[in-house]
Structure 1
Amino acid sequence: MVDKELMHRDVVPLNEADTPSRDRYHWYHSITGKVAIYLMLGILIAYGVGSGAGVFEVNRISHEQWFKQAATNSQITSYVIRNIYTSVTVKSNHEGQVISIESELPLGDDETVIQTGFNPSDMLTLVSTQTHNPAWLLLYDTKQGFTDTENGQKITIVDDSPNALALEEYYRGFATIGGKEYFVGSIPIVNLSGKLIGAVVSSIGERDALSATHNQLLKNTLMMLILILGITVVVVNWLVRNLFRPVPRLIQAVTLIADEKTDHVTPFQNQDDEIGELAKAIEKLRVAMVDRGYLQRMQEMAQKMEYMAHHDSLTRLPNRVAYRNSIDDRLIKLRTEGCIFNLLLIDLDNFKPVNDTYGHVVGDELLVESAARLSALLHEGDIAIRLGGDEFAILQHVHQDSISEAEALAQNVLQALHHPFACSGHIFSISCSIGISCAPRHGNTREDLFAHADLALYTSKSFGRNCFHFYSHGMTMNPSNNLQFSQEIENGIRNNEFFLHYQKIVRIGNGSTEGYEALVRWQHPMRGQLQPHHFISVSEDIGLIAKLGEWLIRSACMDAAHWPLNKTVWVNVSPHQLRSPGILDTIRSALQDSGLEASRLEIEITGSEQLDREDTLPILNAIQALGVGLVLDEFGTGFATLDYLIIFPFTHIKIARSLIDVLDKCEDSQVLVGMLVRYALQRGLKVTAEGVETAQQYEFLASLGHGEVTVQGYYFGRAIENSSVTMELEQEKMEVTCD
């Protein structure tokens, strides 16, 4: 049903400025303009025809009057001449109009003047007095034509008569006499033999005087036309306002409906004519649009609520509700169609420190980017889900082998999430831990699959994070695990299960070996050789990092003491270990017991966690006071930023592996690395680029032109045992001696 309040809303007048149709076409394209134009044209045509007919009739009547007046004046002229010259005779036509005068002698010669006592001037004066207009006596010569007897001027005809000698016969029309145009009546004078000897001409007035009335009539006609046009404009405007005023408003009403703006009731519905019917039809359309809009909004709202109920508002990934529905659907297909699948639970490592340090805005950006990277790894049939916090899940559709396909996806996830993140200007690296359960191998219910994947995830975290594990029978999650692992680490240190590998660090300028970085390994009696990420984080969590770190520092110093005096050893120390109360004593005693010079030991501080200024700065200052170098590891990512170089007494930086990895692919990384190198060298710091694996990366670093920069990575060799280091250094010594 349509909203009753909307249906009964008062009509809101629409502003002319809001009328979109008025700006879409010119006024003469509108109905109003067309009606006005048609009325104007009709009036102009009617008045033009009428005025043209009137002008024509006036011209006709005027010419008739002029001809009659000219004939009358000619009669008066012939009458005066006959009274004066008794010897003349006249010839008339059937209407009694005198058309010629016969005279034995010219009327203006001396003999006629003596006989009559009138000269031509007297006769013409008498004619002018009778006709109230000028008159002329003309003499005719075959060579000269007609000339005035008084001044000898030639008389010319100015009308359209094709006969240039029109004055030889009875003539009425315009003639030029003395430079002026007159409408005249001319009677030819002939002798007794019929030979033309002259003419007597009388006028009825000059052309301008005769045309004055005609011109006044035309002027009055023009004024009347202007008046009628003005009246027409007023009438058309009145018609437009009263007859066509609803049209633009109704056009606007339809336009608003087309734009889905249905707030205003259609006006003019109360008119009892076609406009009212049109308005009612538009109102029906508006009501239908209101109903349609209401239903559409309800449908959109339902879809939005459905989406919100099944998707995470931050990452736009499906949420726990969608996870339950999806895994239930897959379990049904597993039972009915045999479609197997894998469940991967993913937990971001070190997310809480990032969130606590940089704030929730950066944390949210990290989660969004992580979700995007996970989504990019999915294949057809896979679904990425955010379970909450920094926990994600992937339901993987298995095509052939569940184990191999899960391993491949897990490796891709580890690699994707280990790549550096750039959030709000901060660059840092994280990792993730993954637990995997396969259906139906590890369960055929939602609860079993999730619980088993969670146990596998816990195992991955126990093994140092940044790894994945499949669920296996016997996995448990209880506090005794930490106690057991703690005992295993202590036993490992006591039983010499831990050992060191060393990776070479080379100077770009001359290719010489500057020293080696100590990398700890664990030969676990049950699990085989373990990398640091399998046990360092766990050691920090269970409080054994200080004991393990003490072993590492002492062992590295003992090995390096047997190297040449110009070789340095780098030892990694975590921020957790820095906070242990015996770190200074550990370093001091390691140097004393091994006999290693303090300048040949450099302590690497990883940037995985934020350094507290109040707690860490005194410790670093004390270490530096011993003469030991301080290296800021993973510089350019994570917490290892430029402000650390200002706050803490670092003497050496290591540019992060993640920046070096893309040197040969990303121009921005090249610019950033170049800037970091120049900045560090200007501050008097040593610079090492770690993770160099290709010739292109090495060549770019060499192109910076700083021979004091050092590099390390697989391009120069993998980490090796101390015995191999000794042999390598002996070989280098022999080569130098030979050179």
Structure 2
Amino acid sequence: MVVKELIQHEVVPVCEQEPQLRGGYHWYHSITGKVAIYLMLGVLIAYGIGSGAGVFEVNRISHEQWYKQAATNSQITSYIIRNIYTSTTVKSNHEGQVVSIESERPLSDDETIIQTGFNPADMLTLVSTQTHNPTWLLLYDKKHGFTDLNNTDDISQKITTATDTANRSALTAYYRGFADIGGKEYFVGSIPIVDPSGKLLGAVVSSIGERDALFATHNALLKNTLLMLILILGITVVVVNWLVRNLFRPVPRLIQAVSLIADEKTDQVTPFQTQDDEIGELAKAIEKLRVAMVDRGYLQRMQEMAQKMEYMAHHDSLTLLPNRVSYRNSIDERLIKLRTEGRIFNLLLIDLDNFKPVNDTYGHVVGDELLIESSVRLCAIIGEKDMAIRLGGDEFAILQEVQRDSILEAQTLARKVLATLNEPFTCSGNTFSISGSIGISCAPQHGNTREDLFAHADLALYTSKSFGRNCFHFYSPGMTMNPSNNLLFSQEIENGIRNNEFFLHYQKIVSLDNCRSEGYEALVRWQHPVRGQLQPHHFISVSEDIGLIARLGEWLIRSACIDAANWPVAKTVSVNVSPHQLRHPGILDTIRNALRDSGLDPARLEIEITGSEPLDREIILPILNAIQALGIGIVLDGFGTGFATLDYLIIFPFSHIKIARPLIDMLDKCEDRQALVSMLVRYALQRGLKVTAEGVETQQQYEFLLSLGGVKMTAQGFYFGRAVENSNVVAELEQEKMEQQCHS
């Protein structure tokens, strides 16, 4: 189960994206441009064909109109002639069109004029008035052909038709079309005049207009039609282009979305998912891909973080050597190989002599450089199958795989260690000399369990220190006969509890946003009668190994509850409890009794579970659930190192985590640490957990943590104050109480 984080932002406007998208090609190479071009070409072709057909149709309609108008004019002419010349008759075709006029006499002779009272000129004027166009009455004889009644000259060569320009008898039949009359071209309708026997007497020709005038009208119509078509074409092109661009407008945006996903930029939601078409389906598919990439990226970051945490769980953050957890795993593996393959090994415990004076005199920076240089020197002298380990503080260990003689090989390696540590150190421009004390236990001569080998090597180390340091000793059974020389013996720890040699210091936990104390962590100290004041790493792990942690832990819980119950201001108190204590059957009774005897509100007590050992789910989970049921907060201490992994936050009922000090130490110098801490804090806050950063010592560390979520986080470390005795805590809280009363 992993909490997924999907960051959603508004999509960048297309006007800001397209320049980047289109920078590699021209518009006409895009799918929008190509489709628009193809559509416009199709439109142009269609309009070209349509225009051609339109021109053809206009020509056809124009000619049909001319033919109809010529036929109409011929009808009008024949009608007027029949009304004037009553003796004439007409012949019509099957359409009712007059195709010839029959007259016994020419219409222009004197007798006809006398009978009708009309001369031909008057008749032609009347026809022209009705048709609004000129009309001609032509006489015909075989010798001269057609002769204009109003012009006695032979004009047979001047009257020609478009269909038969060389034939003088072209007008002997009903005719409609262009004719050249007197040097001008007209569109005419010609009706022949014949006698009853069919002899051609002449023809009456009526015009609908001159060719130029007719074609001027015709061309104007074509021009207007073409202009209208061009206008419609332009509008169509604009509309098509607009429609295409709108249709394909999502394509560049979707390409942009895919490109961003390919570049692992997955913080923008895919647009156009609401469209109910293929574009919408494509957008939804891209969004699924984006979400999958977000999930994959998140899981990858979680995996990378888990790998870093796994590495840090087994390595010291300062020297990068394997740490105490790795030591325990490695020595257990070697013990298995000892039993199954008979492969023997040595354990060398190394303590740097005079390290504390150097650290106090020159500061932690020089002290850290000294530890780093010491680790480098140790790694340079060990064999390929050996392992150098930093147990904590100035304590190191070497697991040496023996080839033949365990004693001889341990002596050789111990002398090399002493020699390399005796060489002068130069750190931050300061040169000084230290030495080392070594205690050695050989497996299986000096033990076949992890606890025995460590205890015996520590006894040998203590002996080396007692002999003036800068030397080494092997464990011998006689060392157990002098308890005053053995820090690990239970009687010495029990005497320390009984003689009040153990005491508590309290380090305040402050809110990042206002630096006001939220509570205190109880830290145990031992004022040893011989070795002076000892820090927890000198005796807690040893107490766990020899089974005395439950007794010491009971004293610690009871003392912290009594002190906190008497504070003038109600603050929480945190008490460290190791997995060894949780496995002890009386842990719940210890906590209940401490709360009952001290009268401390359970809500003010927090139990910090260290990550030095793996938590057995079947055993530890019911215990933690029972502690939580009492109203006590449960804190995962050292989160990010040791065995304190992400899975613990899901499996166990933790309400509070503490980011381990090794992660905070290099926070202002290492971007990877910043990214890792940011991810851990964000993950914990999303799960509703309290978050405390341990080991804050610089302004830069404080400011970075404040930027992550200051109002929701707390911190502790030398930047806010060192651990102090209970009396100092009481004085500080008295001052805070007085300030609150003044403000109220």
| TM-score (norm. length: structure 1) | 0.42
Larger gyration radius, structure 1 or structure 2: 1
| TM-score (norm. length: structure 2) | 0.41
